[in-house]
Amino acid sequence: MNLLHSIAQSFAEGVLKLYNQEVDAHEVLINPTKKEFEGDFTIVVFPYSKPADKAPAVIGEELGQHLIENSSYVEKYNVVNGFLNLSFNNQFWWECLNKMHQSPSYGISEKNGQKVLVEFSSPNTNKPLHLGHIRNILLGWSVTRILKPAAMK
């Protein structure tokens, strides 16, 4: 996701500005925030405590403030131990949805070399179909239709 990369880039610029340490934006760990904490994504700040010679919580506060001032996406932040939890504004989520909507291959994953077998029932000539049969037939047919674009790539 390019938007998360822009957040990582802004974070790396903050580390350079505040602690005079160069960080590659690709090395910044951004993970979804755990459900028990407030925020959308979390940046791990432990790796920057030794070069900055500060506690991870202090680094999180300083870099969180830097992101609020320099990123148009970060609405608020909170620091839990060595983790900087970021909450994004509606503009961030709107741009994410627009990128997904504009992508012609959204929802279609690349082939991974694995075969998939979808087994579902078909009409039996020896007994009549009932609602349970039709449900399973339609579910199986739907799954094959969902998987078909991935098989074509």
Domain range annotation of the chain: 2-92, 108-152
pLDDT, one tens digit per residue, over 64-123 is 999 999 988 999 999 998 899 999 999 989 988 998 889 887 777 777 778 888 887 777
Q: Which fold has domain 2-92?
A: Gyrase A; domain 2 (3.30.1360)
HEC readout, the chain: CHHHHHHHHHHHHHHHHHHCCCCCHHHCCEEECCCCCCCCEEEECHHHHHHHCCCHHHHHHHHHHHHHHHCCCEEEEEEECCEEEEEECHHHHHHHHHHHHHCCCCCCCCCCCCCCCCCCCCCCCCCCCCHHHHHHHHHHHHHHHHHHHHHHC
pTM tops 0.85, yes or no: no
